[in-house]
A = this chain, B = another copy of it.
Amino acid sequence: MNYLEEPSNSFIRDEKDKKIKDFEKSIPLIGIPWDWSTAGKPGARFAPQSIRNELYSLRTDVYELNEIKFGFNDLGNVRISPGDLNETSRRIISVCDDVFKKIKEKNPVIFLGGDHSITKSILLSLSKFYNKIGLIIFDAHYDLREVKEGLTSGSWLNELLKDNKEKFNVIEIGISNYSNPSYMKEIAKKYGIKVFYRDQIIDDLKDVFYEINKVKENTDGIYISIDMDHLDQSFAPGVNSPTALGMYPHETIKIINEITRNSKILGIDTTEVSPPYDINNNTSRLAAKLLLYSINSYLGNKNG
């Protein structure tokens, strides 16, 4: 695994925390500081460090309601090749192949992006180990752009599904009106993606819960991809492309709770946080907490 760099800060703070290392509930964590596929406002390359800082200042040894404790096994950052997507993608896949083999479904692997294009590489690796993966994406954008030239983080899902349609059952949650060209709707249909516009779920989560459970039943495990721009810009100001009239974080939490109920979570990523545009580090802090809630919800359900 020589494509991994030592993280510049560690999750071990003091003697008490060290005991967490012994927990069987050690969650692997990998940073991917890649944002060279961003056509708009770059900066997500700084997010793995910034989200780690927030994770580091939060407590992972306690959750009041169900007493789940866990620790992170910080594997560091993938050593990206600046500006070279092919080589970087190759390295992400190589690292992931190694980690997914070792972790053997015991716990989800956490990925800190980076722009959203990193999810494609992660899933190319993951799909080697499973026949059918439930892919649940929180995003204001379809990311189904058809790109003729150059890179863009808005095309990764199209590129992934073009050759791997049958490997994934996809739900997209939080799509924002006026933020996507109309032709994407057709592409989504072609790939059988179940789409929930943000406005469709504002007062009622029943429909989205129904589809989530269908996916849980029909797949070997779930991968959750959280593009932070699915959240309203007042909660997530520090992203490449902020969303007015986006989702509220407590809605996301409720949906994640439903996803993790009686399911196997294979991996979770959080992408598109852009620290140079953030306010008081709010978006990194929220990303960190969404990850903690997701893991806890999963572990709580697994052991409940």
Contact = CB atoms under 8 A, between A and B. Distances in A.
- Give chain A's interface residue range (CB within 8 Å of chain B): 35 or more
Interface of A: prevailing SS? loop
A40 to B, nearest CB: 9
Contacts of A87: 149-150
Contact of A197 (B64, B82, B199, B285): B64
B43 A42 contact: yes
How many of these chains are in the complex? 6
A59 interface: yes
B149 A245 contact: no
Nearest to A42: B42
Nearest to A178: B58
A205 interface: no
A176 to B, nearest CB: 9
A178 B235 contact: no
Interface string A217-236: 00000000000000011110
A277 interface: yes
A64 B177 contact: yes
The 3 closest A-B pairs by CB, nearest first: A83-B151, A62-B182, A82-B150
